[in-house]
Amino acid sequence: MKRPVKIAITGAAGSVCYSLLFKIATGEMIDRDQPVILQLIEVPEAMDALRGIAMELEDCAFPLLHSISLYDKFEEGVVGAHYVLLLGAKPRGPGMERSELIAANAPAFASQGRAINQFANRDVKVLVVGNPANTNALCASRNAPDLSPAQFTALTRLDHNRARGILANHTGANPKDIRRITIWGNHSNTQFPDLGHATIYGEPAMSQVDESWYRDHFIEKIQKRGAAVIEARGRSSAASAAQGVINHMHDWINGTAENDWVSMAIVSDGSYGIAKGIIYSFPVRCDYGRYQIVQGLEISDFAREKMTATEQELLSEMKTVADLLPKETEASHQNLSVGLRSGQYLQTDRVR
């Protein structure tokens, strides 16, 4: 039997988590033979609800669920964590953009970054889901000077899955036969869901869809899908977000499928001319806990314009949180450049 790993999760009594925790406990996130310790974190007012969820988890008698502990202080809940999933944040309501949440949410992510730096396992992998996810991840990462920026990621796998599902539905293909979709940029309505390199049954996707459907409908549909779900449900996506989290972490830990790549928002190393240091979604391949940006893709003028628009939005969000971003230290520069040397981000690329 493997040694259990510790997973710290915020927003643990929230609706995304209600779908997520049971998947983690059955081994969907890491491996079917990997025992897990759940360190569930909530605000004090939600602790009763969290206790109820812990009871339900216990009542499922999951063989892989080693133990559960509940915390109302982030600093305690994150101790020794190998994986940290930051879901807790104020959600947006109908008619809002995610960037409107910056003032309400970003400061908490900066302080969570400090606590992760101090208390989590040195090889921790962090996924930010709370919105605006890219900029929150930037705040967390920049406040964790002893860790590599490469250890902090934000979720665009939900957008990636949306693009795959909607393309499958449009073409009649099975989602598993659709590959090489890319989400570039911000998890916002400026993101660019790119089908320029995608394939369906091994053939270019763009030869199987109408160009005007792609340009005039598909792109906007993916960009605004989160808002459409909120409009229809009266609250944000939950089960699909949980599925995105499972897919993101699973592939980061275990590797991407052959002949495919996935989208992850990660610190930019300047690839494709994107400003260094922002958290931007790229096409990546993962392999045993590492990830690498897919290089050498041809970028059309159409794509370049969209990639730049979402980059500009992230740069402007970064300005908004400037007060929360301590000046980069010598150590964090080294952390990033060690990763860049081989073009790979290694979990061990941090300097103590």
Site for ligand LMR, rule CB under 6 A: 92, 98, 131, 158, 226, 229, 236-237, 241
Q: Catalytic residue among 66, 82, 170, 187, which?
A: 187
Least distance in angstroms from the C-beta of 153 to ligand LMR: 15
- Residue in the shown chain whose Cβ atom is closest to ligand LMR: 226
SS (H, E, C) 82-135: CEEEECCCCCCCCCCCHHHHHHHHHHHHHHHHHHHHHHCCCCCEEEECCCCHHH
Least distance in angstroms from the C-beta of 45 to ligand LMR: 22
The DSSP bridge partners found for residue 6 are 37
Given a contact cutoff of 8 angstroms between Cβ atoms, the answer to whether 193 and 222 are in contact is yes
Residue type (1 letter), 103: A
Query: Read out DSSP for 267-335?
Result: E--SGGGPPTTSEEEEEEEEETTEEEEPP-----HHHHHHHHHHHHHHHHHHHHTGGG-PPPPHHHHHH
Based on the residue annotation, tell me whether 187 is a catalytic residue of this protein.
yes
Instruction: Using the minimum distance from each CB to ligand LMR, give the nearer residue, 30 or 241.
Output: 241
Instruction: Using the minimum distance from each CB to ligand LMR, give the nearer residue, 35 or 226.
Output: 226
| Dihedral class, residue 126 (left if φ above 0, else alpha if ψ from -120 to 50, else beta) | beta
Instruction: Using the minimum distance from each CB to ligand LMR, give the nearer residue, 112 or 271.
Output: 112
Helix axes 157-171, 225-233, angle to 10 degrees: 90
Instruction: Using the minimum distance from each CB to ligand LMR, give the nearer residue, 64 or 249.
Output: 249
Instruction: Using the minimum distance from each CB to ligand LMR, give the nearer residue, 112 or 243.
Output: 243
- Residue 295 has a CB neighbour count (10 Å cut-off) of 10
Least distance in angstroms from the C-beta of 229 to ligand LMR: 5
**Residue position matching structure tokens 């609706």:** 15
Least distance in angstroms from the C-beta of 306 to ligand LMR: 18
Least distance in angstroms from the C-beta of 88 to ligand LMR: 13
What is the C-alpha separation between 253 and 314, in angstroms, rounded?
27
Residues belonging to the active site = 187
